[in-house]
Structure 1
């Protein structure tokens, strides 16, 4: 909308310049004296400031254009270095009646303030008009950038990862790892709440279909309530919620190249103060990628060259089921209860060739390494309860959130290495990782706006985390033709309790 207004204002100023008569070269008898003209432009009904209003100044003697400007976000304007003389001032803005007044700038009245100008809306009887609003792809606010997924063609298929690949300041590598402003230390939130999937952002984004995402918030300067210590930023994934009354449903199915399939079904029933919602998403995709690295490393004045070539293929599969309800107690109080279940994985393999040379380009080592993901099962369930209280003052809110999530991860990978130079025995290894994670968070937040650009935030938070990771690493024993457990295996149990306030 701002772009349209700016374009219109520029056209008005341009038209005024073209239609103005050449000046006589005089300054109304005031010599070389210079003054200023200022004021404020608002709407007559509602007293809302008008931004980008066109203010132009013309000489009374010959109606030639002297200067012009536009109003700021609060409706104020100022024109400096105005030669002394008698003028008429004109205010124009699309949809409002033009305003004109006479002013005098002289040494006795060097700073002319015309006060508050209230523009009258221009009314005209029209036929039926259909107004359609479309959100921009990217919106900016004081503390975050919002990516509206509905305006992204990727929303017709793919995952949240595909959306981020086309997002400024965000990078996603071939393995789905996300980095924000060059750092991979990114926190993943879903509807403002943590998930067990946040321990592996690549898996989290791959298992969320783009069709179920309304927007993605990129928060690069998070407040204390997000526990931002050590974090480069936060990616908050906002899922879709239907707001229309009655029964609503939407189903979609898609197919793309590289054996890419996706489908979704969303149902919603809203009556009076209660809203029930449920949905299912499915996605299957085959991915193939190639990577080439050339690296020069100097250590203790010794130069070593590395040439690495690799190929990766993965089968991505994900299912997501969600449901819950919203209850609007009254216009100022509401609560939400929801459940979200996901399962999926991306088994596949990676083949790599490694060539290492010395400073004379003599081969030091030449070998290949294959990594195969035999099993990759990720299952997570999130439970969420939210209460919100709104006060009469805009942005004045009190909230309470309770969410519990648990995830089970079962992964098995196999590694083989074959040496071409020197001719030594290769490796045959495998790893099995069985992990269980649980996370319970209780949090209350209070927000009080102090001004347009300042607000007070306060809150309490209690967090409980449990993780049980049983990692086993095996070497293949050619004597017994079987895998044997190695000392690299470990069983890691972690419990964490945090109580905080801000």
Structure 2
């Protein structure tokens, strides 16, 4: 690893020397009337001879631009939706710098009533402490869910159960607009009601500062939702249809005045998720085997409404109120064909297990936020917010075992009833003050309250009626209160930057099984120091380093001890005694930025204690899996990200992640020690074709990897996206094919001394066609219909 780091540094120094004659171009783009900065204006550097693109960028939030070139003769072109394009060909080079000053853009009156499409931004942008994935540029996200959007984000993988990993490790904290949300929790059905058209960008923070919640051992994924800020009335409407069933309608409407910004989004639709599966339980001691093969499907009808307003009290004070209501109606069916056999003989018994499930899932979320900007310095502000949310689930499932052949074939009927409710309240305050032009101080706190009640019952059909099974029926209460306070100080000079932080969090956790009176109370306080630094070795090469300490508290469904009996030979249950994981995370990153090529390379190490693993025990051909704290995990990895734009019609993005880990610990009084590795790669190709067509091809590969007891197989998949603009960009046609070759197969195998368990699942190919129309100064959106893959 040291040699790799030295090589990266040497490469950067060498390139920096070769680029010593680079010219740096700066300026600020504003509206000509209001003098307000224009964010995301497109800036192109063109060759004066042939008009070829030399370099490009977009303006920052404050309207500033920064470009570098070795050319001394060029034309600068600045454009933005609804404004007249400006070209600059006269400039002066002073000490290798061209300062264009303030560039004022005028509105184009001919485009005032036309929709224009979002400026072309890079799919992935690298910032000081995070990577930003711009959803609008991912064509294959048409008809996609929030989970599928995450699965296209570099470093992120999502399995068929909706479990999210970052750099191959779980324990990811999911935030929405920078705050915890029931919509992103396990109880909230894993981002089920958030769709791709609602998402503006996804921020991946692998080493968060103390300002962020310490939850999430592998880092934070922040999903930022769209909120239009353009003046006037803007909106769009989108219709999707797909195979299998993926039909949806999306609508957005926004109005911006001097005092108010009103925004809304509406989505409704119906979708189907077919699946084929196979499981095999092998009792190696007695040479008996239970196999289950079958198929099923899940159907969802959904409705989602977001309403909000920003009230600009004056130029420096804004009050925002947002509400979100989502509702899902679920039905699920499956048919499993079970066979039992001994040794190599033919099966001696067979039966089918039919499942029918119905559930309703209403969700509410509301937030009040106040921001006050102080007049003495830019970025001096106070932000206070209060957020509340609730999620309810009423679900009933019935299971019928019907004999096919053999005297020992299983015949019975079972039923489960679930009445679930979760309430979350978050109170947060953040204060930021620049002490000087280079020194910034931050401080704040957060109080998070989570309250859950889950009534769960398993019933058997006996003596002509349904009877509760007492040992598998109970009411589970979960209450968690987390109080956190933090403070950070940062110095950011021309070449060197340093940010130090400390966060303290107190956790008060209580679980209770009402009928059995089993109560578990935990109260603990943790300190979470953070350190971030950066050094600019050359204009186009810099190094960043970071350290953070993180925690991953047990999730609700990891604590809940109720049994999942979908397959009553393969049962999952929770563990109320589970302890939180703690992680020390170290990272060094090198970033090289050339005119047509950008590269990023990171070396990272994580040391995780009280590691949570799913542990399977086996008895009477039944495998019971529950999470347990099993030893430590030391993971060291290398991540590479690159983008090249050889011309104005082609761009390539590549991502590669490799990590090697060492697992140590003790289980059932026996020590274990093993090493393993895993890697993943993604290549995204985007082609700008004639007649306003855009084609996107995405290839993914995830290698096999090993856990404490399991081996998880690898897979490869391909996604295809095609976009066509018509009616001067007012309307967009989208075609999306996800898992084009139906090759995303999930397999895992558990092998122990006396048993073996095998599991196989396949969802298959999804094809979606969408049409989107925008009006005013809005933008056409690709509304999502799909929830999970």
Q: By the TM > 0.5 criterion, same fold?
A: yes
Q: 2:481 and 2:119 mapped to 1: Cα distance?
A: 46
User: Which residue in 1 is equivalent to 2:718?
Assistant: none
2:700 aligned partner: none
CA–CA distance in structure 1, aligned partners of residues 213 and 293 of structure 2: 40
Deviation at 1:294, TM superposition (A): 6.6
**Cα displacement string for residues 316-346 of structure 1 (whole angstroms, at most 9, x for unaligned residues):** 2211112121123444432311111111143
- Structure 1 contact 40–75 (Cα < 8 Å) conserved: no
Residues in 2 aligned to 1:241 and 1:74: alpha-carbon distance in whole angstroms: 26
**What is the aligned counterpart of 2:322 among 338, 341, 344?**
338
The one-character-per-residue Cα deviations of 1:94-143 (angstroms, maximum 9, x if unpaired) are 4488999xxxxxxxxxxxxxx9444587xxxxxx9999831122223233
1:451-477 alpha-carbon deviations (Å, 9 max, x no partner): 999965422122222211111211111
Q: Of 346, 353, 369, which residue of structure 2 is paired with 1:386?
A: 369
Question: Within the alignment, does 1:499 sit opposite 2:483 as a pair?
Answer: yes
Question: Which residue matches 1:149?
Answer: 135
Separation in 1, partners of 2:199, 2:432: 26
Q: 1:256 and 1:37 mapped to 2: Cα distance? A: 50
CA separation in 1, counterparts of 2:203 and 2:341? Answer: 46
Deviation at 1:189, TM superposition (A): 2.3
Q: 1:367 to 1:75 in 2, by over 3 A?
A: same
Partner residue of 2:144 out of 135, 151, 158: 158
Q: Which residue of structure 2 lines up, in the alignment, with residue 270 of structure 1? A: 256
Counterpart position of 1:472? 457
Structure 2 CA distance for partners of 1:498 and 1:288, relative to 1, 3 Å: same
Q: Distance in 2 between matches of 1:163 and 1:305?
A: 39
Q: Distance in 2 between matches of 1:44 and 1:267?
A: 36
Distance across 2 between alignment mates of 1:246 and 1:99: 38
**Is 1:441 matched with 2:426?**
yes
Contact persistence 2:25–2:68 (CA under 8 A): no
Task: Give the whole-Å Cα distance in 2 for the aligned partners of 1:406 and 1:500.
Answer: 22
In 1, Cα distance between equivalents of 2:299 and 2:150: 20
| Deviation for aligned residue 1:258 | 1.6
Query: Max radius of gyration: which structure?
Result: 1
Residue of 156, 165, 168 corresponding to 2:154: 168
CA 289–172 in structure 1, closer or farther in 2 if over 3 Å, else same: farther
* Mapping of residues 159-198 of structure 1, within 5 Å: 159-198=145-184
The alpha-carbon deviation at position 207 of structure 1 amounts to 1.2
Once the two structures are superposed, residues 205-252 of structure 1 have per-residue CA deviations (whole angstroms, 9 ceiling, x without a partner) of: 221222222222233333344433454333322221111212222222
Inter-CA distance 367–335: structure 2 relative to 1 (3 Å threshold):
same
Would you say the 8 A contact 1:250–1:265 is kept in 2?
A: yes
Structure 1 pair 435–454 and aligned structure 2 pair: CA distance change class (3 A) = farther
Distance 1:435 1:161 in 2: 23
Instruction: State how far apart, in whole Å, the 1-side matches of 2:394 and 2:322 are.
Output: 26
Deviation at 1:352, TM superposition (A): 3.2
Equivalent residue, structure 1, for 2:408: 423
Matched, 1:255 2:238: no
Given that 1:97 and 1:120 are in contact with CA atoms closer than 8 Å, whether structure 2 keeps it comes out as: no
Comparing 269-278 with 217-226, greater Cα deviation is found at 217-226
**Matched-pair contact (CA < 8 Å) for 2:365–2:387:** yes
Structure 2 residue ranges without an equivalent (≥5): 1-16, 29-44, 46-64, 76-88, 101-106, 487-789
Question: What are the equivalent positions in structure 2 for 1:8-27 lying under 5 Å apart?
Answer: none
> Helix, strand or coil: the match of 1:244?
coil
Q: Which runs of 5+ in 1 are unaligned?
A: 1-34, 47-52, 54-72, 78-89, 101-114, 122-127
Equivalences for residues 349-360 of structure 1 within 5 A: 349-353=333-337
8 Å Cα contact 1:145/1:217 also seen in 2: yes
Judged with a 3 Å threshold, the aligned counterparts in structure 2 of structure 1 residues 372 and 363 are, in CA distance, closer, same or farther, namely same
SS of alignment partner, residue 147 of structure 2: helix
Aligned residues: 407
From the superposition, tell whether residues 355 and 164 of structure 1 become closer, same or farther in structure 2 (CA, over 3 Å). Answer: farther
Question: 2:349–2:408: 8 Å Cα contact kept in structure 1?
Answer: no
1:203 lines up with 2:189 in the alignment: yes
Q: Tell me how far apart the structure 2 counterparts of residues 168 and 305 of structure 1 sit (CA, whole Å).
A: 41
Instruction: Measure the CA separation in 1 of the matches of 2:384 and 2:26.
Output: 41
Equivalence map 1:402-421=2 (5 Å): 402-418=386-402
Q: Which residue of 1 aligns with 2:332?
A: 348
Counterparts in 2 of 1:305 and 1:229: CA distance versus 1, 3 Å:
farther
Shift of 1:393: 5.2
Alpha-carbon RMSD: 4.1
CA distance in 1, matches of 2:387, 2:210: 19
- 1:245 aligned onto 2:240: no
Matches within 5 A, 1:287-326: 287-292=273-278, 308-326=292-310
Given the superposition, is the C-alpha separation of residues 356 and 234 from structure 1 closer, same or farther in structure 2, using an over 3 Å criterion?
farther
C-alpha change, 1:382 and 1:74, in structure 2 (3 Å) is closer
| Aligned residue number for residue 62 of structure 1 | none
Which of the pair is proportionally richer in strand?
Answer: 2
Q: Distance in 2 between matches of 1:36 and 1:182?
A: 37
Cα distance in structure 2, aligned partners of 1:470 and 1:37: 66
Post-superposition offset of 1:397: 4.2
User: What is the rounded CA distance, in whole Å, between the counterparts of 1:39 and 1:290 in structure 2?
Assistant: 61
- For 2:288 and 2:219, locate their aligned partners in 1 and report how far apart those are by CA, in whole Å: 36
Deviates more, 1:375-384 or 1:238-247: 238-247
Higher relative contact order (CA 8 A, sep 6+): 2
SS at match of 1:347: strand
